[in-house]
Amino acid sequence: MRYRFDVDVVVAVLLDVGELHDFCTDPHLVRVRIAPEDFHFFIRERVMSHALGNIEAGFTLKYKNKTLAIASRSGTMHKIYMVGNPQPSYPKLRYSVDLYTSQTSSRRAGVLQKRTPVKITKVYVGPKLVRFLLTTGSGKRGWYQSRTSYIYGRQPILEGTFYAG
């Protein structure tokens, strides 16, 4: 059996999904994987983040028993929009940042100093916080907790990133 979706309707429904609605502003439906009685929607979101500026992250949503929900609060970072070409694979921190041991833990994993090169691979969107997984070239890892609002004069944490709009 083949299923057909009206992309505009699917995107409108995806925008109404809880915390994802607060985090994402410009939805792009990437692909739909269909299994009997179990639909998974893979969406790629472009959003202005308080911590990183203009980014793209991917999330999985599932439709089961007539309910659409986030399959996981963790998403994959696809792109951080930066000034200049080529873009560095490990951009440097603009500020020193505190790291946490997990997505929701209050235990600190340490501090990364200003100008440390980092790679950001995952994003976690919880009910009250947004965290990004930072990894250094030497393998040190930890979750950075994003600010919840814009602070005038304070730039995103990576050199070469910016706010737009």
Task: Give 131 or 155, the one with higher predicted confidence.
Answer: 131
* Average pLDDT value for the chain: 77
Question: Smallest Cα–Cα separation from 131: which of 161, 82, 98?
Answer: 98
Strands 74-80 and 118-125: antiparallel
State pTM to two decimals.
0.76
The pLDDT of 118-140, averaged and rounded, is 91
Q: What is the pLDDT of residue 147?
A: 81
pLDDT, one tens digit per residue, over 33-49 is: 444 455 677 777 777 88
Q: What is the pLDDT of residue 38?
A: 59
Task: Give 32 or 78, the one with higher predicted confidence.
Answer: 78
Residue 25 has pLDDT above 80, yes or no: no
Q: Write the DSSP assignment of 80-134 as a string of letters.
A: E--SSSSPPSSPBBSS-EEEESSSS--SEEEEEPTT-BEEEEEEEE-SS-EEEEE
Give the CB-side neighbour count of residue 76, counting CA atoms within 13 A.
7
pLDDT band at 154; cut points 50, 70, 90? confident
Strands 97-100 and 108-112: antiparallel
CB of 124 closer than 8 Å to CB of 79: no
